[in-house]
Every structure is written in C-alpha cells, then in structure tokens.
Amino acid sequence: MNREISCEVYRRLLAHYPIVGGRRNFIHFNSPFESLILTILSAQTTDRAVSAIRDDLFARYPTPEALARAEPEEVEPLIRNIGLYRSKARYIVGTARKLVSDFDGQVPRTIEELQSLPGVGRKTANIVLSHAFGIDVGIAVDTHVRRVSKRIGFTGSTNPDIIERDLMALFPEEAWKNINYLLISFGREICTAKNPKHERCCVADLCQCYQDLLRAGEK
C-alpha cells in the first residue's frame, strides 16, 4: 500500500474516531508514574480490568518510592483480578525500585531507558512516551494494531517490530501519535478478530483484505 492511500485511510479513521482534547489513552492516569505502571499491568488484560484496580493500587502506593518499599506479595491482592498478576506484581515493584535507584524516582524519557525497566518492552515504552510526555519516536503495536494493519494492507508482516517500521514509513511523523489509538478503536468496533463488520467499514474500498474477499466472491 502506498502512502497516499494510507493517509486517506488515516483521514477517514480520524473523522470516525475524533481525538477530543488530545486524549488518546484508554486508561486514565494522573502522572507519568501511573501511566507506566498501568501500561505494564494492561498487557493481555482489558482496559476495564486495569481501570478497576487503579484507584486502590495508587491509594496504597502513590509514588515510586512507596511501591519500591513493597514486596510483590503485598501488591498481588490489589491486582489479582487482572491476568498474570503475580508476574506483573514483580514487574511493577521491580520497576519502582529501578526508578528510585537509577532515575531519582522519575520516569525516564527515552525508549532505551524505559526498556531497561522490568516488564517494559518497546510497545509499553512507546505508549508511555507518547501518552505521558507527548514524545513520539515510534508507534506502539498491540494485537489490534497488528491485525488491522495486516488486513488493511499497511504491512505484510506479523512481527511487531517490522509492522512498526512499516507504519512509520507510511505515515508522516505528526500522525504517529494517533495511529495506535485509531487502529485500536477501529479494531475493537469494526475490524474485530472474528466476524469483522465489513458493511459498516469506512475504509472497505481501500482495504486489501476486503478487496481480496470481493475478488474471491465471498462478499
């Protein structure tokens, strides 16, 4: 897919999912620290589940210093309703301790430093940089972004790193901050994993997957 068509897809999705007040995050946070911890917790878990434990978690551990003093076993009961809670308790306590020991209690602002924290990969680092600091050096690729990008034709790969590079090549840098939000919103509502809603799709005429279905006589 060329850049002209990709940008038309972007324009249509932006019209369908307007970004009000610059808000592009699905989970509310009050600080970079909260953004980081909540993003770590959100892996393989619904936003609703993470939002449900947010207030109790930060009432108990409002700062990196407070969380760093905890043991993972103390944190587990507060997050046990989310997936992989034992591993995530270790990650967030380890992250808090590293913030205190290596970064003076501050969330770092580079992708390399963020990825040095327990439980933080490139996707999480991209999300935190974009949402907490307005720094966009890449595009976070999750399961929705991966599925939608492949179907529409933005990429031929299923590898998140390659998909990210393909998306960055297709879209101007000023659009990077919106791509994750738009593709997740579209993937949740229309381009779902099962039974995608082709009849309601605002980019069906530009979608490689849908055009392939038409040619095969399946639509």
CA distances from 76 to 10, 51, 79, 92 (A): 40, 16, 5, 11
In whole angstroms, what separates CA 93 from the centre of its chain?
Answer: 21
> Pick from 91, 152, 154: which is nearest to 117 by CA?
91
Q: Which of 88, 98, 136, 142 is catalytic?
A: 142
Contacts 24+ apart (CB under 8 A), 10-13: 10/171, 10/175, 10/178, 10/179, 10/182, 12/202, 12/203, 13/182, 13/183, 13/185, 13/186, 13/202, 13/203
From the list 123, 136, 166, 177, the catalytic residue is 123
Among residues 202, 201, 196, 187, the alpha carbon closest in space to that of 26 is found at 187
Q: Is 142 a catalytic residue?
A: yes
212 is an active site residue = no
Catalytic residues, by residue number, are 123, 142
